[in-house]
Structures are given as structure tokens and as C-alpha cells.
Amino acid sequence: MQVAAVREPRHDAPRTSHVVPIHVAPSTAAARHAVTRCSTCAMRAICMPPELTPDELSRLDALICSTRSIKRGDALYRAGDEFQSIYAIRAGSFKTVVMHRDGREHVTGFQIAGDSLGLDGIGEGKQNCDAIALEDSVVCIIPFAQLEAICREIRPMQHHIYQMMSGEIVRESSQMMLLGTMSAEQRVATFLLNLSKRFKARGFSAAEFHLRMTREEIGCFLGMKLETVSRMFSKFQREHLVKANGKTIRIEDPERLSRV
């Protein structure tokens, strides 16, 4: 949740005047292991600690040297798969999903470019959820055994991994509070403001962005029915807080939305 985003200002983009086209992953077999470089990646400021030296970046370039392309609807990994690597989303977006015993799907998160996937597999040595691409996406493959070794020598990188793990804990506790204490209106407002903040951190517009997930998937994440999610979007539009044009969302009044 990469989810297509907006760079400000941008009035000359094709088709939709504000929305930047997504980075479509190459479909060739060679693209599954294309060479990539952390040192030249636009997402480096999100994925990596800022204080790395050129020499340290070169060492990471040698470690993170391959990418994998995932088509929309396909799984990067499934619950129960052996944990071997963590993944940094280079382009595109994903949802993480846990399947209930009765077959129902519960969405546990939406990840956009710059986010990581697979950290929850460290504890038990296997993945705890499915990671499904919401659009054609590309991930950088980071072999965890080699990452552990390099973290012992590059302390900023070790600290960064700790921060990532801590961020997962904070995210889960925030999600529990959202589901346990907030009204439907507050849940949807919080969801949109969180996305806005994440897009802004990546240099995109905080006001306008394109949702790659469905309303039903949003409801599954927020613990709400599809009808309730749609009703909240309609309410926000009537109150001129948000303008929705299909899946393109524009936050009209962020201050009032925050007060919700």
C-alpha cells in the first residue's frame, strides 16, 4: 500500500493529471534475478540507514544483488514456507494475509515501496502469512543469514534492523487499538491518514494517491464490512473531507479528517 502515488507538483502526467504511473515489473524470466544496487535505489532513504559510508553501501550492493518480479495476484511467499530471506519492496505493493481455519481471509497489512516483508518469519524459521502482490511488483531479495553476518560488522545496519522489528511491534499494537477502541468512522480516517503519511515520507503527495486494494480488502483489514467502508467514504465525501474518484483518493481537509 508500489500503490500508485503522486509527486507534487505534477500536472502533466498522462491520463490522470496527478497520478504517477506505477512501475510495472518486467515479466521475463531474467528479471527474476536482475542485478540491483542499494547505492543507486530511489528507495534507499526508506530502506537503509542514512549514515552508511560508500564502502558500507558497496558491501550491501554485493549482498542485495538480485530482485524478483511478482505479478498482480501472485504470492511472494505463503504461510508455512521456510524463512530464508527478507524482502524490500522496490516497486509495487502487497497485502499480507492470514487465513482462518474456516477459510476466511484476514488482511494484516498493506505494504508499499520502501517497506519490508518477511520479518515475522525470523522467530520460528517459517513464514506466518501470505504476501500477495496488489499489482505487478518488484522486491529486492535479502538473504537473512548473510544480512546477520554483515550486521555484526556494520553497526548502523544492525540498529536499522532493530528499528524495523520495533516498527512491526508498534504497528501491531496500533492495529489492536484501532480494532478494539475506534469507531468505523475513526478507523477509515486513521487508515487514510496513515497512507498519506507514508506516501509523504517517500516524496509523493500526501493529499492524493491511488488505492490498489479493494474496499473489501480495506474492510478486512479494518474489521469492517464492505458496506460500512463504502458508507464511510460516502460520508467523508458529503462532508468535503475526502474526494474519491474510483480508486483515486484526494484528502480535501486533512485537519478536519485528523479531528475525526
Domains of the chain (ranges, CATH numbers):
29-179 (2.60.120.10), 183-259 (1.10.10.10)
User: The C-alpha cell of 147 is what?
Assistant: 544480512
pTM for this prediction:
0.78
10-residue averages of pLDDT along the chain (260 residues): 41 35 36 57 74 80 82 96 93 93 88 91 91 95 88 85 83 78 91 92 89 94 93 94 91 91
Beta-strand runs (E) in 83-156 = 85-91, 93-99, 105-112, 116-117, 130-133, 137-143
**Predicted local distance difference test score (pLDDT) of residue 32:** 41
The predicted pLDDT at position 107 comes to: 94
The set of cell numbers assigned to 248 is 483515486
| 111-to-25, 126, 135, 156 alpha-carbon distances in Å | 16, 20, 11, 24
pLDDT of residue 65: 67
Q: For residue 39, what pLDDT is reported?
A: 67
The predicted pLDDT at position 168 comes to 81
Distance CA 139, CA 117 (A): 9
Instruction: Check residue 147 and give its pLDDT.
Output: 87
